[in-house]
Each structure stands twice: as C-alpha cells, then as structure tokens.
Amino acid sequence: MSDVLDSVTPFDVEFTTPLVLERGGLLPSYRLRCETYGSLNTERTNAVLVCHALSGDHHAAGRHHPSDPKPGWWDHYIGPGKAIDTDRFFVVSLNNLGGCSGSTGPTSLNPDTGLLYGPDFPEITVLDWVVSQARLADHLGIEQFAAVVGGSLGGMQALQWAISFPERLRAAVVIAAAPKLNAQNIAFNEVARQAILRDPNFRDGRYREFDVVPASGVGLARMVGHITYLSDVSMGQKFGRTAPRAEFESDGVNFAVESYLRYQGEQFSTRFDANTYLLMTHALDYFDPTAGDQVPLAEVLKDTQCRFLVLSFTTDWRFSPSRSEEIVDALVKAQRPVSYVRLESEHGHDAFLIPDATYQAVLGTFMARLADDLEVPS
Amino acid sequence: MSDVLDSVTPFDVEFTTPLVLERGGLLPSYRLRCETYGSLNTERTNAVLVCHALSGDHHAAGRHHPSDPKPGWWDHYIGPGKAIDTDRFFVVSLNNLGGCSGSTGPTSLNPDTGLLYGPDFPEITVLDWVVSQARLADHLGIEQFAAVVGGSLGGMQALQWAISFPERLRAAVVIAAAPKLNAQNIAFNEVARQAILRDPNFRDGRYREFDVVPASGVGLARMVGHITYLSDVSMGQKFGRTAPRAEFESDGVNFAVESYLRYQGEQFSTRFDANTYLLMTHALDYFDPTAGDQVPLAEVLKDTQCRFLVLSFTTDWRFSPSRSEEIVDALVKAQRPVSYVRLESEHGHDAFLIPDATYQAVLGTFMARLADDLEVPS
C-alpha cells in the first residue's frame, strides 16, 4: 500500500515517569513530538527509528499539508519506494529532548516551577536521547526496531542504540558520523557557543524573559557551522569568487559566499532556540562511548547484536571518512557484522542529506534486505 | 660579522608623497615602522624584504631589549647563521600600511582632519603594500632586493612583487600561500568580520571615540581564525579531548581546547585593532592577480624575472599544498625558474612559523645560493 505522505500529522507523547539524566539532571515529566510514516505490521517488527542531527526535528519526511513548499528534512530517502520504503517500513521520527520544535526543551515550562526552563534546562547527552527514544518505542508497542538510522549526530544515536539496547534493534545505520568529536570539532562548537554567549541579547540564557532573541549570535554560530557542513569543493562550485546577486548587494558584501552565509544565519536565527543550540553542541562534545578511552571502542561494541551499515562521504571534513573507519575497524575487531561504503561526493558533510543515486542504492539495498528478512517465516 | 640581534631598534620612515590606492582611496602622507637586521653591503645588493601575514608586524627577528621574553615572529629563520643569514643579508621588515603596530593605519590621525581614521581608513590591497614597500626600498637606497620573502598573506606580497616590480627582486619566496582565496577562505574571513561587526562595542568602527574596544568580537574572530591555522592532527596531539588545566576551569569549559581558544582570543583582542583586522581580511579576499580570471595566472607570471621558491605544508588546510601547486604549475607553464617543496608537517598553516629542520634546510640552501651568487664577481 502506497501512501503519498502529503498530509503527515505530528503528534505528542507525554511521559510522566521522571527521567534521570546522564549528567546528573532530572526531568520530572516530558513530551516528545513525533511523526510516523507507513504502517506498523501486525508482528510489530517493521519499525525504523530515524534520529535527527544538530538542528533537525521530527519532520523527517512528507508534508504536513499538500501545499507545503518543502517536505521533511530527509524526504529524499524516506517514502513509498524510496531507500527507507514506507510501503515496507513503519518509520518513527521525533524531535529530541531539549529541542525547540515541540518536544520538551529550554523553551518549555518547568512543571516544578511553572517558569520557562531557559538556561536551567538540564544537560542532555546522546544516551539520554536513546533512553527517551526507548521509552517512546515502549509507548508505541515496538519491542525491537528493524533499524535505527541517523546521519551526523543522528548516527551517534544509532551507535548508542546498538551499545545500550543491543536486543532492541536488528540494524544500525550510522551515516557521516564519528565515534567521538576530535579537538577541532569541539573547537568549532566552542566558537559557535561563544558567538551566542557573547551576544548581549543572550542575557545569561534568559532572553525570553526579556522578550529579546540573541539572533546575531545564533546567526553567527550558524555561519561557522555551515562552513563546516560544506566542502571547499562545493563552496567553490557554488560560489567561487563571484560577486553577490544584485538583491544581496550591500555595504561590505563583496562576494556571493558572504551574502549566502549571512542569509543562512539570519534564517536560522529566526527559527532556532539559542539554548537548544548550546545544548545540542554540548551533547555532540560529550558523546564518547569509550568514556575517555577507558574502554577500547571494539570492547564497547563487542556485545552489540545488530548488523551495521556505516557510510561516509569523501569530501566530508567535519566527520571525515577516517572517523567512520574508526567505527568500522572497531566493529571488525569486535567481529560484528558491518558493511561500509565510502561514498564519492562533493557536498562535504551535508552529503548525507542530499539526493545521490549511489547513496540511495546502497542504503536502499541494505534496507530492502532487512525488509526481506522480516518477511521470511521464522 | 655576527650580530646577536639582542637590541634591535624599530625606526619610522615618513612619506609625504600621496599614495593613490588600488581601490580608490588616497593617503596624503603615511609612516611605515621598520626594522632591519644585518648590514647592507656596499653594492646594496644583499637586501631581503620580509613581508608579514595577517596579524604580524615589523618585529620579525631579534629582541628590542636583551631581556625581552620573546623574540620577533620569525626569529627561528632570521639571524646570524640562520636560514635568512643576517651575516650575509640585510633584512628589512615593516609593519604594513593599515596595520596597528606603528605604521599609518586606522589607529592613526588623518592629517586632513586631525581626527582618528578609524573606519574611514581607506581600503588597502596587497598591491598597495607592495607599492609602499617599493617606496621604502627607494628610501633605503635599495634598487633591487636579493629576495622578497613571506608566508601566507606575506607570500602573496612576494608574488605581487614579482609581478609588479619584476626588475626589483632576484628571488621571490612564497610560503604557505595561495594565488587567491577560495570561497571557503573568504567564508571564514567573513565569519571573523561578522564577529567584530556584531560586537556592540564596535560602534561602526568608532569605538575609540567612545573609549571602548570590541574585544569580544575581535577575540571571537581570532578563535575562528586560530582553528584554521592549526591542523586537526596538531589540535588532536596538543589537546585531544582532555579537560582544561585547573587554572582554566570555569563554568561551561569542559575541554582544554576550549580554554586555549578563549585565552588566544583574549590575548589577541588586547593587542590588535579591530579596524585593522577587517582591513587585513579584506586585503586577503581581494588578492587576485588574475583579476577575476580575466588573465590566466601563467600569463600574469610570464614577465616575472626572478627565480621562485614555493613551499607548502602537508597538513595546511587553510592554504593547502594544492593551492601552492597552482602557483608552481603556472610558473612552469610560463617557463619561469621555480623550485617547489611540499614539506611534511603536522602543524597546519602555522607550520610556516614553526622551527623544522627540513624547512630550515630548504629555505637556507636557497638563500645561501642567492648569497653566493651575489658574491661572484660579475
């Protein structure tokens, strides 16, 4: 049965069991905003969890209204007949805890005080997300996912799922990720954070109480982030050293790449919460399944039970292929089943979001095989 | 004769002939702050001009007082018996026009108005620097330099010298440079500029009139710049994911690389002028000897008369070896004499400042050959 995903409706799930967080905080209750695509089969075995990256949300595919100008952020890869085929899979997507798109986060009210969380929202880690997602699976009656899939920070969640709930997923798809950030990655996150913290409108994170937004700092943070999502090749092809388009000409703008970055920053700053941005970058920084090299990654992955698909992109310099290969090498050492493809792309880190025939074929083949396996009578 | 360079004294040269600038401005008069090391020979043939990069100055080597804790920025390579041997060469170094270390720039008084230039200081290009340096050479009685040498933005000046004054240098040494910035380079410069422009203390560049300094923005600009000067390898070796040293522990600092960057930014913001930073990054962006690909680089270099040494560093991703190789390929195509070495280094772009035996040997051999040639009776 094909569904066109042209009238997707998000829904909220409320959790009233307190969640103790990895870094010491506690959420007495929380909400997760979700979307699903496709149908859960009667055996409840065909669910796929799609995890989002730093600035993503629950709206991964389809449209909320047929007239929406743009579909969800991974619509190229999720839908009827697509790599993650909603004719075969029941896809679950959610806005992560701490987000600003409907799930409980810094823009929510603290039920204990009746005030906005703001900067008092507790620190969240990838493990916290995975635990909250497992509770969501419980709520939806999903004992085991056919796959947990994600790119970038989403790939880290897929990896954490394999480690923390080995029996609850048959496959993990880890795309354009890394087993932990390196110093350069952390440095770029720190620059982004400082851009926000130094904006006078940030006001120690209590900007909403003053009815202001640190748009300048968030925009600047996005600008620096955005450079790291693209490759020098793709920036060269897209902009080179050309002058800005006439409508973007203004004082001090000499090159198209400058007006493009400013525009990206401005757009982002109107839709994304500053405290959430800080929280997400910290979650990236903290992610380290080896707990500071106390345990080798291969040892950490030894008890995983799923098969793995690991994908990297040649021009990704945020999380370069060598970072994906650290995961692959550890899985090989741990004698776990892993397929790895280093995909040719000019699009840098953003390649994981962009349509590409080979990428689609590799992911689609892996997912189709999973779906076939589910249909074999056991 | 060996001089120890332990009591170098900067000196100022005043120019009263107006300088018409490439981008349309005009300086009615200006001052260049300079240093020299070694002695000019009687034939006046052994002068070497050392050009500085974005944040450098005239103090390239030696100490102003024997008790100075640190020598000049390129002291590893300039001095008696060093690669640029002051027993054989007369080295000239200056603070570039538009700088903030003594030469006329945004922190100077406009002689026409008696007021600080500030943001009204005219835009400066690499060509303007080279023209002003040629006037300095005239003043010092140097008809022809034995070599013009520079790293990064300094290398662009050496290249421009070869193009603009072909008969006035016997050699150009172009280190860790590029024939023009690519879109990614410009993008990073734009982020740095936006960090400064968005600092409320910037006040349209008139901060000095308000007795404030946009230290927060300049610090942030330096942080992002600094990341691009290092390699991910060197950052990994230097910091990895280690915690900050105890004295740098503070709220929100989780990793040593964060406190390091903040410290670098703070240090820089106390010594470097914001308007000069903007001016220098614009000069970098504008540099393009091909005038927007109107003329192929090989064609531009066809009439150069000097020999070239081009050096790049393997982990430099700001100006990667492939960017140096664009220069080399164009020189080969133009049938100009060029030596090229791609030096192994883990230090990224900063490698051009750091002591390294192979680098020293390559540069030293090239310079010694130049000195030998000068001593052959013609």
Which A positions 186-215 lie with beta carbon below 8 A of chain B?
186-188, 190-191, 193-195, 197-200
Last residue of a domain, one of B256, B283, B310: B283
Q: How far is A80 from chain B (nearest CA, A)?
A: 37
Dihedral (Cα; A321, B352, B149, B36), 10-degree rounding: 160
Read off the pLDDT of each residue in B157-181 and give the average, rounded to a whole number. Answer: 98
Q: Tell me whether residue B316 is one of the annotated catalytic residues.
A: yes
How is residue A152 annotated by DSSP? T
User: Is residue A6 in some structural domain?
Assistant: no
CA angle B243, B246, B247 (to 5 degrees): 125
One domain for residues A17 and A154:
yes
Residues of A in contact with B279 (CB under 8 A): none
Asked if the Cβ–Cβ distance from B239 to A183 is below 8 Å, we say yes
A69 and chain B: CB distance < 8 Å anywhere? Answer: no
User: Is residue A2 in some structural domain?
Assistant: no
One domain for residues B62 and B204:
no
Residues of A in contact with B223 (CB under 8 A): 187, 190-191, 194
**pLDDT number for residue A222:** 98
Residue B27 phi/psi, 5° resolution?
A: -110, 115
Write the CATH number for A253. 1.10.1740.110
Nearest CA in chain B to A286: B254
Asked whether the predicted pLDDT for residue B119 surpasses 70, the reply is yes
User: Is residue B346 in some structural domain?
Assistant: yes
Could you give the CA distance from residue A45 to residue A89 in angstroms, rounded to a whole number? 9
Residues of B in contact with A224 (CB under 8 A): 191, 224
Report ipTM for this prediction. Answer: 0.94
| pLDDT confidence tier of residue A4, bands split at 50, 70 and 90 | confident
Nearest to A327 by CA among A170, A129, A162: A162
Query: Best of B202, B232, B235 to disrupt the A interface by mutation (most A CBs within 10 Å)?
Result: B232
Q: Which residue is it, tokens 């943070």?
A: A221
| CA A312 to each of CA A176, A230, A332, A362: distance values in angstroms, whole numbers, following the listed order | 5, 14, 17, 12
Asked if the Cβ–Cβ distance from A255 to B200 is below 8 Å, we say no
One domain for residues A95 and A40:
yes
Average pLDDT, chain A: 96
One domain for residues A176 and A189:
no
Alpha carbons within 13 angstroms on the beta-carbon side of residue A102 total 17
Residues of A in contact with B274 (CB under 8 A): none
One domain for residues A170 and A252:
no
One domain for residues B250 and B207:
yes
A233 and chain B: CB distance < 8 Å anywhere? Answer: no
One domain for residues A93 and A166:
yes
Residues of B in contact with A183 (CB under 8 A): 232, 235-236, 238-241, 255, 257
One domain for residues A225 and A351:
no
How is residue B56 annotated by DSSP? -
Helix or strand run (H / E) with residue A175: strand A171-175
Query: Helix or strand or coil: residue A369?
Result: helix
Four-residue CA torsion sign, B34, B39, B45, B48: negative
Q: Which of B187, B265, B317 is facing A235, going by the closest CB pair?
A: B187
Tens of pLDDT, residues A75-134: 999 999 999 999 999 999 999 999 999 999 999 999 889 999 999 999 999 999 999 999
Nearest to A178 by CA among A228, A142, A216, A113: A228
Nearest CA in chain A to B278: A252
**pLDDT number for residue B176:** 98
| pLDDT confidence tier of residue A2, bands split at 50, 70 and 90 | very low
| pLDDT confidence tier of residue A378, bands split at 50, 70 and 90 | low
B248 and chain A: CB distance < 8 Å anywhere? Answer: no
Strands B147-151 and B171-175: parallel
Burial A290-310 (b: 16+ CB within 10 A, else e): beeeeeebbebbbebebbbbb
**pLDDT number for residue B1:** 39
**pLDDT number for residue A3:** 54
Q: How far is A265 from chain B (nearest CA, A)?
A: 10
Q: Tell me whether residue B211 is one of the annotated catalytic residues.
A: no
| pLDDT confidence tier of residue B150, bands split at 50, 70 and 90 | very high
* Residues present in chain B in total: 378
Asked if the Cβ–Cβ distance from B183 to A317 is below 8 Å, we say no
Asked if the Cβ–Cβ distance from B258 to A180 is below 8 Å, we say no
- The answer to whether the beta carbons of residues B340 and B325 sit under 8 Å apart is yes
Asked if the Cβ–Cβ distance from B285 to A252 is below 8 Å, we say no
User: Is residue A3 in some structural domain?
Assistant: no
User: Is residue B232 in some structural domain?
Assistant: yes
Asked whether the predicted pLDDT for residue A1 surpasses 60, the reply is no
One domain for residues B348 and B204:
no
User: Is residue B4 in some structural domain?
Assistant: no
Nearest to B52 by CA among B82, B90, B97, B14: B97
Q: How far is A38 from chain B (nearest CA, A)?
A: 41
Q: Which of B190, B235, B282 is facing A261, going by the closest CB pair?
A: B190
* Residue A106: both structure tokens together: 């810094």
Return the minimum-mean-pLDDT range out of A168-177, B241-250, B280-289: B241-250
Average pLDDT, chain B: 96
Could you give the CA distance from residue A172 to residue A271 in angstroms, rounded to a whole number? 30
Asked if the Cβ–Cβ distance from B238 to A194 is below 8 Å, we say no
Q: Which of A216, A224, A286 is facing B198, going by the closest CB pair?
A: A216
Query: Best of A212, A251, A255 to disrupt the B interface by mutation (most B CBs within 10 Å)?
Result: A255
A252 and chain B: CB distance < 8 Å anywhere? Answer: yes
Could you give the CA distance from residue A329 to residue A351 in angstroms, rounded to a whole number? 23
Residues of A classed as catalytic: 152, 316, 349
Asked whether the predicted pLDDT for residue A65 surpasses 70, the reply is yes
**Domain span at A247:** 185-283
Asked whether the predicted pLDDT for residue B328 surpasses 80, the reply is yes
One domain for residues B98 and B142:
yes
Last residue of a domain, one of B283, B304, B338: B283
- The answer to whether the beta carbons of residues A5 and A91 sit under 8 Å apart is no
One domain for residues A218 and A98:
no
Q: How far is A220 from chain B (nearest CA, A)?
A: 7
Read off the pLDDT of each residue in A301-327 and give the average, rounded to a whole number. Answer: 98
* Residue A331: both structure tokens together: 């899985």
Above pLDDT 70, what percent of chain A? Answer: 98
Write the CATH number for A50. 3.40.50.1820
The secondary structure of A69-113 as a DSSP string is SS--TTTTTEETTSSEETTT-EEEEEPPTT-SSSSSSTTSBPTTT
Asked whether the predicted pLDDT for residue B3 surpasses 90, the reply is no
Nearest to B297 by CA among B160, B151, B176, B147: B160
Query: Best of B181, B227, B266, B297 to disrupt the A interface by mutation (most A CBs within 10 Å)?
Result: B227
Asked if the Cβ–Cβ distance from A241 to B182 is below 8 Å, we say yes
Asked whether the predicted pLDDT for residue A292 surpasses 60, the reply is yes
Q: Cα A192 to the chain's mean position, in Å?
A: 18
How is residue A314 annotated by DSSP? T
User: Is residue B5 in some structural domain?
Assistant: no
* Residue B285: both structure tokens together: 């962006």
* Residue B85: both structure tokens together: 């041997």
Q: Which residue is it, tokens 């709930």?
A: A165
Residue A125 makes CB contacts below 8 A (sequence gap 6+) with: A21, A22, A23, A283, A286, A287
Residue B127 phi/psi, 5° resolution?
A: -60, -40
| pLDDT confidence tier of residue A250, bands split at 50, 70 and 90 | confident
Residues of A in contact with B199 (CB under 8 A): 198
Nearest to A275 by CA among A154, A110, A158: A110
- The answer to whether the beta carbons of residues A354 and A157 sit under 8 Å apart is no
B221 and chain A: CB distance < 8 Å anywhere? Answer: no
- The answer to whether the beta carbons of residues A31 and A104 sit under 8 Å apart is yes
**pLDDT number for residue B20:** 98
Q: How far is B87 from chain A (nearest CA, A)?
A: 41
Q: How far is the first Cα of chain B from the last one, in angstroms, to the nearest whole number?
A: 24
Asked whether the predicted pLDDT for residue A246 surpasses 90, the reply is no
Tens of pLDDT, residues B18-76: 999 999 999 999 999 999 999 999 999 999 999 999 999 999 999 999 999 999 999 99
Residue B315 makes CB contacts below 8 A (sequence gap 6+) with: B231, B233, B234, B345, B346, B347, B348, B351
User: Is residue B6 in some structural domain?
Assistant: no
The secondary structure of B362-376 as a DSSP string is HHHHHHHHHHHHHHS
Could you give the CA distance from residue B30 to residue B220 in angstroms, rounded to a whole number? 30
| CA B5 to each of CA A133, B211, B368: distance values in angstroms, whole numbers, following the listed order | 66, 37, 20
Residue B230 makes CB contacts below 8 A (sequence gap 6+) with: A184, B238, B347, B348, B349, B350
| pLDDT confidence tier of residue A376, bands split at 50, 70 and 90 | confident
Strand order from edge to edge, sheet including B147-151: B11-15, B30-37, B90-94, B47-51, B147-151, B171-175, B307-313, B338-343
Asked if the Cβ–Cβ distance from B191 to A238 is below 8 Å, we say no
Last residue of a domain, one of B254, B283, B312: B283
- The answer to whether the beta carbons of residues B70 and B135 sit under 8 Å apart is no
Could you give the CA distance from residue B371 to residue B168 in angstroms, rounded to a whole number? 16
Candidate list B52, B59, B347, B349, residue with the active-site label: B349
Burial A165-188 (b: 16+ CB within 10 A, else e): beebbbbbbbbbbbbbbbbbbbbb
Query: Helix or strand or coil: residue B300?
Result: helix
Asked if the Cβ–Cβ distance from A183 to B241 is below 8 Å, we say yes
Q: How far is B331 from chain A (nearest CA, A)?
A: 22
- Which residues on adjacent β-strands are paired with residue B201? none
Could you give the CA distance from residue B40 to residue B45 in angstroms, rounded to a whole number? 8
Q: Which of A239, A241, A292 is facing B241, going by the closest CB pair?
A: A292
Asked whether the predicted pLDDT for residue B236 surpasses 70, the reply is yes
Asked whether the predicted pLDDT for residue B2 surpasses 50, the reply is no
One domain for residues B135 and B249:
no
Q: Which of B182, B227, B282 is facing A232, going by the closest CB pair?
A: B182
Q: Which residue is it, tokens 């040269």?
A: B13
Query: How many domains does one find in chain B?
Result: 2
Which parts of chain B are beta strand (E)? 11-15, 19-20, 26-27, 30-37, 47-51, 78-79, 84-85, 90-94, 147-151, 171-175, 307-313, 338-343
How is residue A3 annotated by DSSP? -
Q: Which of A186, A223, A286 is facing B194, going by the closest CB pair?
A: A223
